[in-house]
Structure 1
Amino acid sequence: MTKIDRYILILFLRTVLVCFCSIAGIFIVFHAFTSLDDLVHQARTDGGLVRVMIRFYGPYMLLLFDWTGAIIVLMSLLFTVGWLRRTGEMTATLSAGISHGRILRPMLVASFLIIAVQLVNREFLLPHYRDALAMKAKAMEQEPEQPILPCYDLTNQILIEGASLLAKSKRINYPSFRLDGDFAGYGDLITARTAQWTEATADHAEGYWVRGIKRPEQIDSLPSVGTQNRPVILTRHDHPWLQPNECFIATTIHSEFLQTDQSTSRMVSISELASRIKNPAVHSSMSVQVLLHERMVRPTLDYALVLLGLPIVVNRRGRNLFLMIAVAIGTVMFFFGIKTLSGAMGGSGYLLSPAMSAWVPLLILGPIAYVRLREVQNE
């Protein structure tokens, strides 16, 4: 790496940082303006306002980076080249016989690395903070109760409902398990005080540990039942590790599926999305299948967006910086217009399958981005 490469790279990364901090600052100011009373109240018992704001807005910065990373990279590319033109450094460098492609190389490599960091953030960091991102400022002191979204277990033929859900604790308050399968002696309903999601152990599969059972009243005397040689409802009659008025219902319907705020499904990793779609007990909509394929192609599409902006940066007519930004905004709108239209068609099953709807934007924009990169390298 030459000195000019280091100079351009530092200038570009500094611009990326300034752009992200500006967007983050605007977001925090507007959001904190509506939640300041709750944050100040929490700060009195939790080590000060700065600590509370870092704990509350830290996950949001990760989400904001995921949302805006590619656009910030494109805009930073425009600002950096605009600055080099304004100071005459671009003209001097081109006069030395160095091509546009060679000048842009450190910024394109840095753009690729930023998008790679975006991918790591999306797959390994955001999934750990999805509960915090769904939490309001006033809910920081204690975990709030959320409305529950009824979900039907297709494998066991059980409808899971309840009065409320504690998402972080993975607990249902006053659950109701409506039994549509053949569970002799249990009737058509199991109601209780709480149901706690529990991972699989040596004693049982994954499912809900149901406590304080109100119906059926004779639950402790009923034998465990299942379907297709697989235990579904475990009782104290056969499993002494259960306490009186308790049972265990084996199901693959995770407590996350019961959240009414389905935006959290966009913050799970690709492996979690794939396992959700493969789960035979859960009905996966076409939009969820589209989301899985979109996540797979997104890094490549994000980099294609950066390459689509190269002709705006490399021009012989010396466009005004603000005109370049306007053209870049149009390019971004065109890019997201194709993505949105294709995703909507795949989610509704109109003309495109879920997989094809996610790959169509890349099939359209990928070759254009590659041609533009080759053109810049030759200028």
Structure 2
Amino acid sequence: MTKIDRYILILFARTILICFLSIGGVFVVFHAFSNLDDLIRLGNDSGSMTMALIGFYGPYMLMLFDWTAAIIALMSMLFTVGWLRRSGEMTALLAAGVHHGRILRPMLVMVVLVIVGQWGLREFVIPSYREVLTSKPDELRVARTQAMLPSYDKSSGIQIEGEGLYPSESKIDRPSFRLYASLPDYGDIIDGAAATWQPESDQLPAGYLITGVTRPARIDDLDSGIVNDRPVIMTRKALPFLQPGECFVATTLNIEVLRDNPRSTRMAGLAELIRRIRNGSVHSSKDLHTLLHDRMLRPPLDFCLVLLGLPLVVNRGDKGLFNVIGQAIGIVLLFFGLKTFSAAMASGGYFLTPALAAWVPLIVLGPLAYVRYREAQEQ
């Protein structure tokens, strides 16, 4: 790496940082003033206002970076090259025989690093902060139930309902497990005070431990409920370590499946989305399939977005900087408009499958992005 490469790389990275901090600062100011009383109470409860703000807005900054990194990279390239032109350094480089493609190379390397970092945050970091990102400040102070989506387990014939969820505790408040399978000893429902999700272990399959069972009466005296030759409902007769009034219901429908919050689903990692779609016990919507394919193709699509704007970076002509930025915004709107239109077509079942809906933007824009990249290289 030459000295000029390092200079352009540092200038570009600094521009990205300034743009992101500017956007993040505006977001924090507007959001904080809209929730000022709740944030003050959250700070008083935690003992430190600074740590409370970092704990609450830190995950939001990660999510904001995931949403805007590609757009910020494109705009930062425009600002960086604009600065090189204004300072006369671009003229000196071109006069020395350095073509535009060589000048853009360190910035494209940085764009790749930004997209890789964006992918890492999206898949491994943001999913662990879903509780903060889907809650208001006052909801973090006091544990409150969140809305629950009743879900049917096709493999066991049980529909899981309840008053609400405590996601941080993996618990259902006042659960009602409706039994559609043939289990005459249990009637048609199991009611309890709470149901806690238990991951699969050596002793038990994955499922819910229901405490304070009120229906059916005398749950401890019942034998295990068998569906399709496998135990689905287990009582103290099968599991002596259970306390009186407890039973265990085997199911693969975990707390995340039951959350009635599309934002939480969109923040799930790729591995979790794959597991959910492969789970034969629960119905997977077309929206979920489209989201999976869109997530897989997100990195190359983000890089395509940057490549589409390269000719604007290297060939401004007599256009002003803000005129060029306006054209770049038009490219961004076209890019996301095509993605949104394809996803809507797949979700409604019109012409496009979920997989094809995710590929259409790349099929349409990929060749165009390559042509514009070659055009920028040759100038």
Task: Give the TM interval when normalised to the shorter protein.
Answer: over 0.9
Per mean C-alpha deviation after superposition, the further-off stretch among 196-205 and 171-180 is 196-205
1:146 corresponds to: 146
Residues 178-200 of structure 1: per-residue CA shift (max 9 Å, x gap): 00001131000100100001111
What one-letter code is carried by the residue in structure 1 that aligns with 2:102?
R
Partner Cα separation in structure 2 for residue 101 and residue 153 of structure 1: 56
Q: Which amino acid aligns with 1:185?
A: D
Unaligned residue ranges in structure 1 (runs of 5+): none
Residues 2-31 of structure 1, C-alpha deviations (whole Å, 9 max, x = no match): 111111111110100000000000000000
> Distance between the aligned counterparts of 2:280 and 2:232, measured in 1?
15
Superposition pairs of residues 148-297 of structure 1, within 5 angstroms? 148-297=148-297
Query: What SS does the corresponding residue of 1:152 show, helix, strand or coil?
Result: strand
For each residue in 1:269-323, what CA deviation from the matched residue of structure 2 results, as whole angstroms up to 9, or x when unmatched? Answer: 1111011001011110001000000000000000000000001112162321000
CA positional deviation for 1:47:
2.7
Return 140-149 or 280-289, whichever deviates more. Answer: 140-149
Looking at structure 2, the residues matched to 90 and 247 of structure 1 have their Cα atoms a distance apart, in angstroms, of 73
Distance 2:268 2:317 in 1: 45
Measured in 2, the distance between the counterparts of 1:74 and 1:173 equals: 47
Q: Conserved in 1, the CA contact under 8 Å of 2:42 and 2:52?
A: yes
1:61-119 Cα deviation digits (max 9, x unpaired): 11000000100000000110111111111111111111000000000110011000000
SS in 2 for 1:44: helix
- Larger CA deviation: 120-129 vs 258-267: 258-267
Q: Which residue of 2 aligns with 1:367?
A: 367
Q: Deviations over 1:331-361 (max 9, x none)?
A: 0000001100011111111101000000010
1:11 is matched with: 11
User: 3-state SS of the aligned residue for 1:168?
Assistant: helix
Q: Distance in 2 between matches of 1:111 and 1:42?
A: 37
Bigger mean CA offset, 283-292 vs 86-95: 86-95
2:53 pairs with 1:53: yes
**Mapping for residues 317-332 of structure 1, pairs under 5 Å:** 317-332=317-332
- Asked if 1:358 corresponds to 2:343, the answer is no
Amino acid at match of 1:105: R
Compared CA separation, residues 144 and 316, structure 1 to 2 (3 A): closer
2:45 and 2:141 in contact (8 A); partners too: no
* C-alpha separation in 1, matches of 2:157 and 2:140: 37
Residue 85 of structure 1 aligns with which residue?
85
Query: Contact 2:316–2:324 (CA<8 Å) still a contact in 1?
Result: no
Instruction: Report SS of the residue matched to 2:332.
Output: helix
Q: Give the TM-score, by structure 2 length.
A: 0.98
Q: Once structures 1 and 2 are overlaid, which stretch shifts more, 71-80 or 366-375?
A: 366-375
Deviations along 1:12-62, one digit per CA (max 9) or x if unpaired, are 101000000000000000000011111112222313211100000011011
Correspondence 1:121 to 2:107: no
Q: Which moved more, 1:257-266 or 1:325-334?
A: 257-266
Q: TM-score, normalised by structure 1?
A: 0.98
Distance in 1 separating the partners of 2:102 and 2:147: 56
8 A Cα contact 2:154 2:282, kept in partner? yes
Q: Which amino acid aligns with 1:238?
A: A
**What letter is aligned with 2:282?**
V
Stretch of structure 1 that moved more, 118-127 or 235-244: 235-244
Q: What is the alpha-carbon distance in structure 2 between the residues aligned to residue 90 and residue 318 of structure 1?
A: 15
What's the offset of the Cα at 1:209? 0.1
Matched AA of 2:247 = C
Question: Alpha carbon RMSD of aligned pairs, Å?
Answer: 1.0
Native 8 Å contact 2:177 2:191 kept in 1:
yes
Corresponding letter in the other structure for 1:343: A
| The 10-residue stretch of structure 1 (300-309 or 216-225) with the greater mean CA deviation from structure 2 | 216-225
Displacement, 1:139?
1.8
> Quick check: 1:339 aligned with 2:339?
yes
Q: Which runs of 4+ in 1 moved over 6 A?
A: none
- Write the distance in 2 (CA, Å) between the matches of 1:98 and 1:13: 21
Rounded Cα–Cα distance in structure 1 between residues aligned with 2:216 and 2:90: 79
User: Whole-Å Cα distance in 2 between the matches of residues 45 and 131 of structure 1?
Assistant: 18
Q: Bigger CA drift: 72-81 or 200-209?
A: 200-209
Q: Write the distance in 2 (CA, Å) between the matches of 1:239 and 1:332.
A: 58
Q: Percent identity?
A: 54
CA distance in 2, matches of 1:197, 1:226: 20
CA distance in 2, matches of 1:186, 1:225: 8
Match in the other structure for 2:304 = 304
In 1: Cα distance, 2:260 partner to 2:45 partner: 30
Residue segments in structure 2 that go unaligned for 5+ positions in a row = none
Specify the code of the residue in structure 1 equivalent to 2:343. Answer: G
